[in-house]
Structure formats: structure tokens, C-alpha cells
Amino acid sequence: MELTFNTLKERRPMSLQTLADHIGIVESHDRPDIITNLSDLKMNDDLNIVVPSEGNYALTPWSRRQIANLLGFKFDKWFENADNAEKAFELNRRFNRATGQIKLRTTDMTDANADGTLKAFVSPTYSAVSDSMLSNLILHSVQQNDCQIPVIRANFTDKTLSYAIRIGDPYESLSSSAVGTIWGGILIQNSGVGYASLSISLHLMRLVCTNGMTAPVAGATLLRRRHSGRPEADLWNQISHVLSAVPEKLGYAVHALRESQNKKVANAQAAIEAIIKQAYMPSKLVEPLMLAYNKEPYETAFAVAQAVTDFETHEQLGLSPEDRKQLEDAAAEYIANAA
């Protein structure tokens, strides 16, 4: 299921409670994890994975990539002119020769002609943090009285679930600042399919343009947790602890962002190239991000960060939420270093 929601851009408010309820509904469709021999799996002519005694499951783009890596081939390169029967035959030859066990993460939600969707192939020791449990832990850690926690944006993809929430009052615009009003909060990214660890980071959002950015301060990543062992153990205490320092750190971050307006930049293209490299993104992004930079009125570090995190440019380029987060992290590091 792919879903992108920007409450500021679309002018449709959403509370963390509403989002947590939706996450719970989606997660209720998950089936128990299956540990099986890789050699016991088969692919049918619909290109679904047949799991013994369980049924056949459609692949997502992410799980398709995972199985290609596991079996050592590339779908598009090797099977460009093959029909489905030929593809299934070749993959089943590889399944038959495969060794070892694998854990399958599945859901009964699917748009395909299948019994469900195979979300991920992960190691037998993989242990995911529940998105539903996590969202409710954060809700109860942050919420005070009956005040609703505003969601700034939320993204469901085949690789991650991420959402940003506002904490505290907005930082109102200063007359001498072009930054404008800022919403401060946290960005949560979790992946139950082996793409990334759980992370909680400080996050800023400019209301005038809805550009988001990881907070440009040291220690912006408040928590990171791998999906192994008992990843949910003591999570309540850790979340409560790290969130207690959020208001103070957000104040420092807003100050650093405003100060970046005073940092002149001699070579904006070189700065953008370095940020893109830091984010592990392709160099073809330099040209469109430079176009965004050229719209900025001043040649400053703030303008560079604005261009790199420009929401409209990201939309035009079709960047994924995962790509956007990498650029936001790199832009924040750039601002922090400039300070």
C-alpha cells in the first residue's frame, strides 16, 4: 500500500491519534511470520510466490528486489524479453538450488490475483518493531490532556512507514527573518521489511513552503533501534527519555536555521553536489536543485538548504519519501557544519 499525506500542503488536518488508528487497521491485516527453507518456495506463472501450506503471495517492488538479490539475478536485465512462464521457470531453478532458511513477512492485503502480499524476505532472526505499538507509545509520551498532536506528513511505502508530528507551539516568524514560521517536531521512520532501522529524529517544517528538514543540530537522531533480538524491549522508557529533551533541542535548531541566512556561499553548486553525495543520491539531481536555488533571493547557506529540500522540486522529480529523508538529513548536516 502506497500513501503519501502532507497535511499542510493539502490543508487537511490529521491527528496522531487518527494516524495511529489507521496504522493499527493496516497492521491488523499482517499474518504471522513464516520461517521456511528457501528451496521450498516456488513462483507461479502469475509471478507470485507459492508458500507451501499457506498460499500464493504477490511481490512488492521491495520484496521483488530482495528475492532478486537472494537468488543472484536482476529482473529487468535478465528477463527483459521473457514471458511470465519463462521467468517462473528460471526462478524456480534457482529456488531448487538455494540453501538456508528465510523469514517471510506477509499481509492479506493485495490488489493482485493472490492470497496476500509478501512484504519482505528477511533473516530468521529478524524481529520488527510494531508500527502500531510504536505510534501509540509516541502518542502517550507526547500527548498532554486532551490536546491533539498534529501530523505534518505521513508516508506509507513498500519499504518504510514515516511520519512527522508537531511538538509544542509553532516558532513564529521574526520580522528580520526570511525563514518564516516553523513547526518543530519529530520524524519517525520505521521499516518492518528490512530496509532500515527504526529512527526518531528532530524535524523542522517551514509553513510558507512546506519544506521539511532534519533539525540542524548535533544529536538530531534521538533514537535508532535495529530489528533484531528484542527490539521492543524497554522502548517505552527510551522514547519517554529522548522526547523529554525535544523542546530545548528544537529551540537550538530553529536558531541555527535562522542564523544560516547570514552565512554567505561562494559556490552553491559545489555545496549542492556535496550534499547530494552525502545523501548517496545521483548527480543528475544537481541541475534541478540548482534551478530551485536560483529562485532564492540571497546566496546563503539557508538558500542552499532550501533548494535541496524544496518540496515542489521533490514532487516534480518523483522522489520517494526515503530519498527525501536522505536529502533532508544531508541538508541538516550542511547547515550544522556551516554554523
At 33, list the grid cell. 511470520
Q: Are residues 268 and 253 in the same domain?
A: no
- pLDDT at 13 (0 to 100): 78
The pLDDT score that the predictor gives to residue 176 is 57
Please write the tens of the pLDDT for every residue from 178-233: 778 899 999 999 999 999 999 999 999 987 777 888 999 988 999 999 888 776 66
Strands (DSSP E) contained in 48-138 are 49-51, 55-59, 101-107, 116-122
Do the strands 101-107 and 116-122 form a parallel or antiparallel pair, or are they unpaired? antiparallel
Q: 316 and 175, same structural domain?
A: no
DSSP-derived pairing of the beta strands 182-190 and 198-206: antiparallel
What separation, in Å, do the N-terminal and C-terminal C-alpha atoms of the chain show?
40
- Total domains present in the chain: 3
Q: What is the three-class DSSP state of 148?
A: coil
Q: Are residues 314 and 276 in the same domain?
A: yes
What letter would DSSP give residue 114?
S
Cα dihedral: 68, 70, 72, 75 (round 10): 0
The residues, ordered by sequence, that sit 6+ positions from 295 with a Cβ below 8 Å of its Cβ are 307
User: Which residue, chain included where needed, has cell 538456508?
Assistant: 100
Identify whether residues 148 and 269 lie together within a single domain.
no
In this structure, are residues 128 and 159 in contact, taking their beta carbons and an 8 Å threshold? no
Q: Report the alpha-carbon distance of residue 215 to residue 64 in Å, rounded.
A: 34
Given 259, 287, 311, the domain boundary residue is: 259
Same domain, 221 and 206: yes
Which helix (DSSP H) or strand (DSSP E) does residue 162 occupy? strand 161-166
Say if residues 260 and 301 touch (Cβ distance below 8 Å). Answer: yes
Q: Both 19 and 140 in a single domain?
A: yes
DSSP 47: S
The per-residue DSSP string of 172-229 comes to PPPTT-SS--EEEEEEEEE-SSSS--EEEEEEEEETTT--EEE-SSTT-EEEEE-SBS
The residue from 190, 224, 259 where one domain ends is 259
Residue that finishes a domain, picked among 82, 104, 122: 122
Residues 149 and 241 in one domain: yes
**Which residues fall within 8 angstroms of residue 248, CB to CB, at 6 or more apart?**
none
From first to last of its 339 residues, the chain has per-residue pLDDT tens of: 566 666 655 566 789 999 999 999 999 999 999 999 999 999 999 999 999 999 999 999 999 999 999 998 887 777 777 888 988 998 999 999 999 999 999 999 998 899 999 999 999 999 999 999 999 999 988 877 678 899 999 999 999 999 999 998 888 877 656 778 899 999 999 999 999 999 999 999 987 777 888 999 988 999 999 888 776 668 888 898 899 889 999 999 999 999 999 999 999 999 999 999 999 999 999 999 999 999 999 999 999 999 999 999 999 999 999 999 999 999 999 999 986
Residue 109 shares a structural domain with residue 253: no
| Same domain for 306 and 207 | no
Query: Pairing relation of β-strands 101-107 and 49-51?
Result: unpaired
Sign, CA torsion 175/180/183/184 = negative
Specify the pLDDT at position 8. 55
* Together in a domain, 188 and 323: no
Tell me, yes or no, whether 253 and 298 share the same domain.
Answer: no
- Domain region containing 176: 3-25+129-259
Residue of 145, 147, 167 whose CA lies nearest to 243: 167
Is 160 in the same domain as 203?
A: yes
Q: Are 307 and 292 in contact (CB under 8 A)?
A: yes
pLDDT at 163: 96
